[in-house]
Structure formats: structure tokens, C-alpha cells
Amino acid sequence: MQQEEKIVLFEIMVDRYGMPAQEDQAIEEMAELIKAIIKYRKDKSDENGFDLIDEIADVKILIEQLELMHKISSLVEERIDFKLERQKKRMFPDLQ
């Protein structure tokens, strides 16, 4: 699915369910991801690996919706870049 199509679908979802419901859904999906990670670490069977993949996908969908709802996508990308650069400096101080 193209990014433009995703954005349209996200907007429809927010219009239909509302921002508070989608924020609550994001919280629920993040909790499910936590449980999937714990389950995967205990038992790395194929079934649990699929659960992990599925929950990561759910969280990523909701994260994109949160960014869209709050109109912060570019600010989030800037912070990601900042944090990755900071981490790179911590890990490789000799490359400064």
C-alpha cells in the first residue's frame, strides 16, 4: 500500500473512531507488543514469532496514526535523527 493511501485510510479511521479511541487503541497495542516480546523471549516458536511480527505491525500503524492526528510527523523524524546521532556519538566517540 502506498503511503498516500495509508494516510487517507488513517484519516478515515480517526474520523470514524475519534482521536481518544485511537489513542486508547495505541496504548492497548503497545501493551500487547510488550506481552508478545516477553512470550517470544520465553518460547521462540514460529507461532510466537508471528505474534511478535503482528504486534509490531499493529504498533507501527497506530504510531503513524498518532503522528498524523497530532500533526507531528516531521517533528518526530527530527527527534529520531537527533537521538540516533547522539547514540552514534556515544558508541563511536573516536569518530568525532
Q: What is the DSSP string of 13-45?
A: HHHHH-HHHHHHHHHHHHHHHHHHHHHHHH---
pLDDT given at position 94: 87
C-alpha pair distances (Å), 52 with each of 5, 20, 27, 38, 66: 25, 25, 16, 9, 21
Could you report the per-residue pLDDT of 57-86, keeping only the tens digit for each? 999 999 999 999 999 999 999 999 999 999
pLDDT single digits (tens) 9-59: 999 999 999 999 999 999 999 999 999 999 888 887 666 678 899 999 999
pLDDT of residue 8: 94
